[in-house]
Amino acid sequence: MDASSALVAAVDCGTNSIKVLVGRVRDDGTLDVVLRDSEVVRLGQGVDATGVLAEEALERTFAAVDDIASTIREHGVPPERVRFCATSATRDAGNAAVFREGVRRRLGVEPEVLSGEEEAALVFAGAIAAQHPAPPEPVLVVDIGGGSTELVLGEGADRRATSMDIGSVRLHERHLLGDPPTRAEVAACVADIDRHLDDSRIPLDRTRTVIGTSGTIKTLACGVLALGSYDREAFDHAVLSNDRTMSFVDRLLAMTAEQRRALPYMHPGRADVIGAGGLIWSRILARVPVPDHVVSEADILHGIAGAIGR
C-alpha cells in the first residue's frame, strides 16, 4: 500500500463551521493527523427561524467545499476513503437536498446527514480514543456546535447519548440580540438551556470525568489560559477549573462582539455567537459533581476518520 492510499479524509459540516482532517489511522486505532483546517461559513444562518438554508450561506459553504476538494486531491486521498458528514443545520433544513447535491458535485462523494445519535457517537469515539490513560468513568463528552449540543455519558460498553437542539448560532439568534446582551436576554437563554438539560435524561450527576470538544470549548479554553493565539498544543489535554471557565464566560458576555474579535485567539466568525455557546458550557459544568474538565483537540473529525480507517 503506498503512502497516499493509506490516507483518509474526514469532513464535518456543522451549523457554524466546516472542518477537514486528513490523516492516517494506525493498526491500533490511533490517528496521525497530516492536516487539519476549518472555516466559519455559518451554514445555519437563520435556519432556526426559516427552516431553510439561506442562499448566501450555501454559497459560502460551497466555496469552502471547493477548497476542501482541492486539498483532498492534493493529498491523493481516493473517494472511497473520504467521508463528508453534515449535522444540525442540514438535519433541520427543508432544502437539504440542494446542499447534498452541491456537495456531491464538488467532492464526488455522497454527503451523510447524521442523526443526532450518530453525531454523538462519533464525538465520543473521537474524544475517548485520544485519552491516555483511560479516564475515570463515567465519562461525559460534550460537543457544543452551532445548531446542536451533543452529550454522551459512557461507562464501559454502556453509552447514554442525546443531541439537543441548542447551539451557539441557534441560541444567539433566538435570545442574545443585544450587543452586549441584556440581563433579560441572558436569563431567557439560560432558561432555554436548562429546559433542554432537564429533558435530556442524561444523569450528569454521575459524571466522574468531563471532556469538552468543539470550537466553542477550545476557544473558551484559550481565554481561560490567557493564550496569545489559538494554540492547539497549549489547550489540548489541558485540565481547567469549571469555576474559572464559568467566570470567563461571564466576562465574555459583558463584551461587545467587536471587543471579542480583538481577543488574539478569537475567530472573527465566532465572536458574535461565543456568548451563547459559553452559556451552554457553563450550565453543563454547573450540573456535574467534579471541579474541573479536560479539553480535547480530538473531536468528531477523529471519530469520522477512525471509522473510515477500520
CA angle 22, 135, 304 (to 5 degrees): 25
Indicate whether 185 and 90 sit together in one domain: no
Task: Specify if 305 maps to a domain.
Answer: no
Task: Specify if 123 maps to a domain.
Answer: no
Q: What is the pLDDT of residues 93-104, one digit of tens each?
A: 899 999 999 999
Indicate whether 136 and 106 sit together in one domain: no
Q: Domain of 18?
A: 4-116
Q: Compute and round to an integer the Cα radius of gyration of the chain.
A: 18
Task: Specify if 232 maps to a domain.
Answer: yes
Q: What are phi and psi of 23, to 5 degrees?
A: -165, 180
Last residue of a domain, one of 116, 145, 171: 116
Last residue of a domain, one of 92, 116, 140: 116
CA neighbor of 210 nearest in space, from 141, 283, 278, 134: 141
Alpha-carbon torsion (260, 266, 271, 277), positive or negative: negative
Indicate whether 98 and 137 sit together in one domain: no
Is the bond into 203 cis (omega within 30 degrees of 0)? no
Task: Provide the edge-to-edge strand list for the sheet that holds 158-164.
Answer: 158-164, 149-155, 139-144, 209-213, 292-295, 239-241
The helix/strand count (H/E) of the chain reads as 13, 11
Q: What are phi and psi of 78, to 5 degrees?
A: -70, 155
Share of the chain above pLDDT 70, in %: 98
- Write the CATH number for 159: 3.30.420.150
Task: Specify if 105 maps to a domain.
Answer: yes
Indicate whether 94 and 16 sit together in one domain: yes
Indicate whether 159 and 206 sit together in one domain: yes
> Residue 147 pLDDT more than 60?
yes
- Ramachandran sector of residue 64 (left: φ over 0; alpha: ψ -120 to 50; beta: rest): alpha
> Residue 237 pLDDT more than 70?
yes
Task: Specify if 268 maps to a domain.
Answer: yes
Task: Specify if 124 maps to a domain.
Answer: no
Indicate whether 89 and 209 sit together in one domain: no
Task: Specify if 84 maps to a domain.
Answer: yes
Count the domains in the chain: 2
Indicate whether 42 and 150 sit together in one domain: no
Indicate whether 95 and 166 sit together in one domain: no
User: DSSP string covering 8-19, please?
Assistant: EEEEEE-SSEEE
Indicate whether 149 and 296 sit together in one domain: yes
Q: What is the pLDDT of residues 22-73, one digit of tens each?
A: 999 887 767 899 999 999 999 999 988 999 999 999 999 999 999 999 999 9
Indicate whether 100 and 144 sit together in one domain: no
Q: Are 301 and 19 in contact (CB under 8 A)?
A: yes
Task: Specify if 175 maps to a domain.
Answer: yes
Cα–Cα distances in angstroms (integers) from residue 283 to residues 28, 155, 213, 295, in the given order:
36, 22, 16, 17
Q: What is the mean pLDDT of residues 265-286?
A: 97
- Which segment of 148-157, 282-291, 300-309 scores lowest on mean pLDDT? 300-309
How many angstroms separate the first and last alpha carbons of the chain? 15
SS3 69: helix
Taking all residues of the chain, what is their mean pLDDT, rounded to a whole number?
94
> Residue 5 pLDDT more than 80?
no
Instruction: Give the per-residue pLDDT at 1.
Output: 43
Q: What is the mean pLDDT of residues 227-255?
A: 97
- Write the CATH number for 59: 3.30.420.40
- Which segment of 22-26, 102-106, 245-249, 268-272 scores lowest on mean pLDDT? 22-26
Q: What is the mean pLDDT of residues 286-293?
A: 98
Indicate whether 29 and 170 sit together in one domain: no
> Residue 138 pLDDT more than 70?
yes
Q: Are 297 and 189 in contact (CB under 8 A)?
A: no
Binned at pLDDT 50, 70 and 90, residue 85 comes out as very high
> Residue 146 pLDDT more than 70?
yes
Indicate whether 38 and 148 sit together in one domain: no
